[in-house]
Amino acid sequence: MARQWDNYEAVQRFPLLKGYINMFSDISYHNEMAALISFFYVQGQSLVDYMRIPINNSHIDSRIHLFWIQPTRSGKTIAWEHTGEVLDTLGIKQDMFSTGTDAALIGSWNKYEEDGEQVLELQEGLLAGKKALNFDEGSLLFETKKQHLSEVVLYLQQAMNPVGTKANTLVKHMKDGSIETESRVSFWLTTFPPQGVREVVLTKGVFQRVLLLIRPWPIERREQVSEERMNTAFKRPPPYEYSLQDFATYFSTVRAALQARVLGIAEMERNDWAKLGTDPKEKIVQDAMYDMFTVDNSFYPLLNAHKDHMYELVRVMDPQMADVVCAFIPNLLNYTIILATHMSLLDDYTQSDDEVAEFNWIVKGDHVDMASEIIYDLYEELVTWLESEVELEHVSKARKSRQASWKAAYTASPALSVGDKPGDWVRKADLLEIYAKQNGGLSRNTQFLHYRDAKTLFKETAVGVSKFVQWLDE
């Protein structure tokens, strides 16, 4: 990852999130990024009945679907222990899938006789209803030559479509009658990097619907994890700042607040809500979604700057491969909005009085900024992985081109001496202004995003409020 996990603004701002990561990481060593995603994975599933985020005349929901690709024996399986414990405290159903037929996923008809008559009873499949579903052997999805596994992939894609849309309804036609299943499942898929992954990633739409976490696991890290595990044998873990109950209280509080928000907008009592079926409830939630949240003035500029930042990485690629990478971007932008919305709720909870949590329902630009840090790092890891797996030389050219642009802007900036510090320096403000002009007049937000990405190229110092940078020789 481009950043250490504890350098993310969200981790630094929200102690509860940091506490969750610390506890997770004592179970699954050095998998802090998975821990961070796990927090919002739980939040997304807990809010799935109430959160719809409108995108013009359509919408997305609160769920996060993780596909974690990492070598074997690196903590992926045991990571579910912590996530599952938190889900248990919230009363959220969870299940596992390793192999099976489409009937296991969609459901089947159970036939039996009663009083001399044949009765058909629907046996629900794993994808029905609301639950957290752990695919511990996601490598099954790569076995495309098996017809029933191809159907599994298709059903997973449909289940990941936004709740409340026709595309989310899974249909299986059988001789005893059709089975229709609405899925509110959140997927947690893990696998080692299997052979032949390149072709599958480039052709299977499921990968464009999940949040891909791709991490190497070098020998040095394996050795470090082994040492840490051995040194904790027979030792009780240290006390944590936050407990499982603290996390459960937070998620439950947010869920109750969203339900109250929907009912308030709909002018409905809780007892009346409880009497309704799934379809009427969904209609009420979708009717309320435009009034659930508002955004501040910085939301759209920062979201668009994040979008620009992502597309700039593919502009110098070979057109065919650029199309492959661009297929991931719309979903990553959706996840940016989803994460920003989740962070707005965490922000309100963090700033509330200890006794009563108050929510202002405003998604702000700094929530977008925090979400963008995480999503862009995942995006860069994805591109780096595609670069190595699909031999995308053009991606490295894009990075070199960006580095050359900063070098040109630095060279064109007036050189200055800064106190007794050795070498020539330039004002950071001059550097950003010249970089923006040389690259087509970039907005100020985009300038800062680009600089954040290129920060390792420079050494920084300050004199009073004035900031200066110096180019670091390679």
Mean pLDDT on 398-420:
87
Which residue type does 36 have? L
Can you give the pTM of this predicted structure?
A: 0.81
> How are beta strands 132-135 and 117-124 bridged, if at all?
unpaired
Mean pLDDT on 229-253:
95
**366-369: long-range contacts, CB 8 A cutoff, minimum separation 24:** 366/9, 366/298, 367/299, 367/340, 367/341, 367/343, 368/298, 368/299, 368/302, 368/303, 368/306, 368/336, 368/340, 369/9, 369/302
DSSP 3-state of 303: helix
Residue pair 357/322 in contact by the 8 Å Cβ criterion: no
| CA–CA separation, 183 and 127 (whole Å) | 6
Residue pair 210/66 in contact by the 8 Å Cβ criterion: yes
What pLDDT digit, counting tens, does each position of 195-211 carry? 655 566 666 677 888 99
Mean pLDDT on 91-114:
82
CA nearest 23: which of 74, 85, 104? Answer: 85
Residue pair 366/12 in contact by the 8 Å Cβ criterion: no
What pLDDT digit, counting tens, does each position of 209-223 carry? 899 999 989 999 999
| CA–CA separation, 253 and 265 (whole Å) | 18
pLDDT at 68: 94
Residue pair 214/155 in contact by the 8 Å Cβ criterion: no
Query: Phi/psi at 177 (nearest 5 deg)?
Result: 130, 155
- Both tokens of 240, joined, read 């944590």
Mean pLDDT on 77-97:
94
DSSP 3-state of 116: coil
Q: What 8-state DSSP symbol labels residue 168?
A: G
Residue pair 412/434 in contact by the 8 Å Cβ criterion: yes
pLDDT at 141: 67
CA nearest 55: which of 331, 276, 240? Answer: 331
Whether residue 244 has pLDDT greater than 50: yes
Of the two residues 88 and 146, the one the predictor is more confident about is 88
Mean pLDDT on 289-309:
97
Mean pLDDT on 319-325:
80
Q: What 8-state DSSP symbol labels residue 63?
A: -
pLDDT at 177: 79
Would you tell me the crossing angle of helices 76-89 and 244-266 to the nearest 10 degrees? 60
Beta bridge partners of residue 467, listed in sequence order: 462
pLDDT at 99: 67
Confidence of residue 389 (pLDDT cuts 50, 70, 90): low
| CA–CA separation, 449 and 462 (whole Å) | 20
Of the two residues 27 and 141, the one the predictor is more confident about is 27
Confidence of residue 147 (pLDDT cuts 50, 70, 90): low
Tokens 């003035």: give the residue.
297
Counting DSSP H helices and E strands in the chain, the numbers are 18, 17
pLDDT at 393: 46
> How are beta strands 132-135 and 94-97 bridged, if at all?
parallel
- By CB neighbour count within 10 A (0-12 exposed, 13-18 middle, 19+ buried), where does 464 fall? exposed
Spell out a b/e string for 70-79, using b for 16 or more CB atoms within 10 Å of the CB, else e: beeebbbeeb
| CA–CA separation, 189 and 68 (whole Å) | 6
pLDDT at 392: 44
Residue pair 251/43 in contact by the 8 Å Cβ criterion: yes
> How are beta strands 107-114 and 66-69 bridged, if at all?
unpaired
Mean pLDDT on 323-346:
95
Across 60-64, 288-292, 404-408, least confident range = 404-408
- Both tokens of 183, joined, read 């899925």
Distances (CA, A) of 216 to 8, 70, 107, 142, 221: 20, 6, 37, 19, 9
Residue pair 362/293 in contact by the 8 Å Cβ criterion: yes
Confidence of residue 100 (pLDDT cuts 50, 70, 90): low
Stretch (H or E) spanning 155:
helix 147-160
pLDDT above 70: percentage of residues in the chain: 91
CA nearest 138: which of 98, 81, 101? Answer: 98
pLDDT at 176: 77
DSSP 3-state of 264: helix
Beta bridge partners of residue 66, listed in sequence order: 188, 211
| CA–CA separation, 98 and 105 (whole Å) | 11
State the average pLDDT for the chain.
89
Mean pLDDT on 256-261:
97
Which residue type does 13 have? R
pLDDT at 249: 96
Whether residue 462 has pLDDT greater than 80: yes
Of 240-249, 309-318, 392-401, the range with the highest mean pLDDT is: 240-249
Tokens 């001059």: give the residue.
430
Of the two residues 369 and 465, the one the predictor is more confident about is 369
Other residues' Cβ atoms within 10 Å of the Cβ of residue 249: 16
